[in-house]
Amino acid sequence: MNWSENGSISDESAMPAEAQAPDAAQAPANTLFMGDSGELALDTRRALVQLLAGPSLDGRRHPKLWPILVRDEAVIRRRLAELFLELVIDRDVQVAFTRQADTGDLEVPLLLRRAQLTFIDSILLLHLRQRLTQADSQGDRAVVSTDEVREFLSLYERAANTDRAGFVKRVHASIEKIKKHSILQKIRSSEDRFEISPTLKLLFSAEEIQALTHLYQRMAAGETPAQLAQIDADEEADQ
């Protein structure tokens, strides 16, 4: 350390090099474009963007991004937390996605938009979740066809209390919604067969599965609760 003759610290030696010559300061190592002030490496940014774009980051669909996510999980979690988001990750099935963090009574802006599920949507998701569990237990891929899904949902046509054409329309809309959120992923070699994404394992809590299973059993038995009838009436009014 340099000292002046009067025993005080020299101003020049105490001042950081960046402060002495701001124009000479080096640009961040991860600068990727003009005006880039980011700190993350390119591959880390790609993984973060995929999580934000959604609906998930899948090790099978994104084989180059998955190891990056695992490597940089801590820093990605921090970046998401700054947006009031939580990273949900399952290393066994190599699937990850983001959801709104539980902030309690703290009022925060919501970045993610929640999809509203109709009764038919819920029944379809539960069926796919059960098929996924069954396939896992047998060591098989969870694959369903469009015709199979339509046939399964047709069991609830009378319970849904609507006309045939309207019900078919709602079934088609439900299938398209699930496909849009990548829960059903098209198999390249087939036009109407889809693989059920393992992401579905992470979307249902144990309580939700139990509640939907109970609902499924009641509807399969032909029961039409007044609450479900009201839901159907509201859905038809929105169409």
pLDDT tens per residue across span 109-147: 777 766 677 778 878 888 888 888 888 888 888 889 888
Copy the structure tokens of residue 46. Answer: 């790609």
* Sign (positive or negative) of CA dihedral 220, 222, 226, 230: positive
Is pTM beyond 0.75? Reply is: no
| Cα–Cα distance measured from residue 86 to residue 74, given in angstroms and rounded to the nearest whole number | 12
Torsion of CA 232, 183, 55, 89, to 10 degrees: 120
pLDDT-derived band of residue 85, with 50, 70 and 90 as boundaries? very high
| Share of residues in the chain with pLDDT > 70 (%) | 69
**Which residue, chain included where needed, has tokens 């990727």?**
32
Both tokens of 119, joined, read: 């009764």
* Mean local confidence (pLDDT), 10-19: 46
CA distances (Å), 106 to each of 39, 84, 170, in order? Answer: 29, 11, 37
* Contact yes or no for 174/120 (Cβ under 8 A): yes
Higher pLDDT, 14 or 35: 35
Query: Going by CATH, does the domain composed of 119-204 fall within 1.10.10.2260?
Result: yes
